[in-house]
Amino acid sequence: MLLRWTDDDFKIHSRTGRGVDWPISYDDLVPYYGEVECALALYGEVDNIPTLPDSIYGHRAEMTAAERTFKDDVESKWPERRVVTWRYIGPEPTRILPPLRDAIASGNLDIRYNTVVSKILTDNGGHRATGVEVIDRVTREKTLVHARSVILCASPVESVRLMLNSASPRHPQGLGNSSGTLGRYFVDQLPCVVTGTYSKAKGWTTADNAPADPFYGPSGGIYVPRFIATDGNTAASDFAFQGSIGRYSTPDDANARFSFFGYGAMDADPENRISLDPRRRDAWGIPVPHIRCKIGGHDRQTLKNQIEAIVETIENAGGQIEYVGSPLGLEEKGRGAYPDADPISRLIFRWMFSRTMVMGAAIHEAGGARMGGDAQTSVLNKWNQSWDLPNLLVTDASAFAGSGVSGTTLTIMAMTVRACRHLAAELRGGDAEG
């Protein structure tokens, strides 16, 4: 799934009074979203929904008959609750996606395999990044790689870990941490899951236009974006749902099966943070990250609202819920979870649920090196450059100033292209704002 984020995310403080506004807005990212989408040739449909801006699509996406019935039922009862197709990328048989293929073809890319970055190097004054220290995964040999600029995009936990592990006398609390916010304001999204059956449709189908993938099953499904407020433009809720109906293998005469996963925006709390574990080290001797990601009172309320909304939506559209679960607990309804499974499997599911449906289950982690409007409260400027060392960029989701309700990947890619274009212009000495 590749979805654009919106000013409902980027300007959350202006909209809700909570969190902080990002130093960039949706309009800043639009050209870069478009560029990435064209390179990836997404599957999707033009939906014209204010809370989920359309992408540029290369292919059509389809709903199953069951999903179309569900969409008609939901939208006719609640016009502010919209049901759209997934927007997704098709399979790539070579396993090398077009942006990487283009980079290799440019002749400007060297890939170093088995090379684990352990630290970012700086000049003596600690004002500029000068490269990275790397460890050969096989021989354990350490070498230095020098560079005019260093761009970290190693995923939120890892990029922050590397910056913390690069502490020096000039940067005693971690590289680029003069604000004291490095590692802090770490967020994920509030997860919930709902499954059951849908008696208005029987059996199953694939409804995926993309070519078959040799390793994975078909893709596709439906998505319920943030509900639309009465002004017709802004969001009325801070959660969204991704799921499918009638795509799970079932006998032709059995009720279709559905499953939805919910994603809620989590408050950015400075106490939720990545730090270096003082005792444990990984296979290469680098301190492992310690992650604190706990939900607070407002998150609890968002999660409750999120669960109530998905249960109400499904039940009113004629679905029979078997279970709904989240970090708040597991609630079984009707015949309960996996009613046709054997008792031991059902017992194991109940026992394991509270251990797996925890914060982190949404896998949309972000923050830790947030961008902002000033060097006192953020790690990066609006071009993803470290305030302290401007030739060090961080372009993964650790740069995000807050949580959202959709996957992070498309925004990471758009933000990375934007930041790198700006850096290239700076290196050429041209118009860096362009």
Ligand X SMILES: Cc1cc2nc3c(=O)[nH]c(=O)nc-3n(C[C@H](O)[C@H](O)[C@H](O)COP(=O)(O)OP(=O)(O)OC[C@H]3O[C@@H](n4cnc5c(N)ncnc54)[C@H](O)[C@@H]3O)c2cc1C
Q: Please report, as ranges, the residues that interact with ligand X according to CB under 6 A.
A: 1-2, 116-117, 153-155, 158, 363, 396-397, 407-409, 412
Residue 281 token pair = 């080290």
Helix-helix angle 98-105:26-40, to 10 degrees: 80
CB closest to ligand X, residue no:
407
Closest to ligand X by CB, 283 or 344 = 283
Q: How far is the CB of 289 from ligand X (least distance, A)?
A: 11
201 within 8 A of 245, measured Cβ to Cβ: yes
Coil, helix or strand for 320? strand
Q: How far is the CB of 79 from ligand X (least distance, A)?
A: 27
Closest to ligand X by CB, 1 or 229 = 1
Q: How far is the CB of 408 from ligand X (least distance, A)?
A: 4
Q: How far is the CB of 327 from ligand X (least distance, A)?
A: 18
Q: How far is the CB of 407 from ligand X (least distance, A)?
A: 2
Residue 250 token pair = 């079932």
Q: Rounded to whole angstroms, how far apart are CA atoms 210 and 212?
A: 6
| Residue 182: C-alpha distances to residues 36, 122, 174, 252, 413 (Å) | 29, 17, 8, 54, 22
Closest to ligand X by CB, 119 or 197 = 119
179 within 8 A of 377, measured Cβ to Cβ: yes
Closest to ligand X by CB, 201 or 419 = 419
Coil, helix or strand for 121? strand
80 within 8 A of 229, measured Cβ to Cβ: yes
Closest to ligand X by CB, 223 or 323 = 223
Q: Rounded to whole angstroms, how far apart are CA atoms 276 and 325?
A: 32
413 within 8 A of 102, measured Cβ to Cβ: no
Q: How far is the CB of 340 from ligand X (least distance, A)?
A: 27
Burial of 253 (0-12, 13-18, 19+ CB in 10 A): exposed
Q: How far is the CB of 207 from ligand X (least distance, A)?
A: 18
Q: How far is the CB of 153 from ligand X (least distance, A)?
A: 5
Closest to ligand X by CB, 58 or 99 = 99
Closest to ligand X by CB, 114 or 316 = 114
Q: Rounded to whole angstroms, how far apart are CA atoms 146 and 30?
A: 33
Query: Whose CA is closest to 49, among 171, 305, 281, 229?
Result: 229
Closest to ligand X by CB, 286 or 307 = 286
Give me the torsion for CA of 276, 280, 283, 288, rounded to 10°.
Answer: -20
Query: Whose CA is closest to 188, among 355, 368, 413?
Result: 368
Q: How far is the CB of 342 from ligand X (least distance, A)?
A: 28
207 within 8 A of 63, measured Cβ to Cβ: yes
Closest to ligand X by CB, 134 or 321 = 134
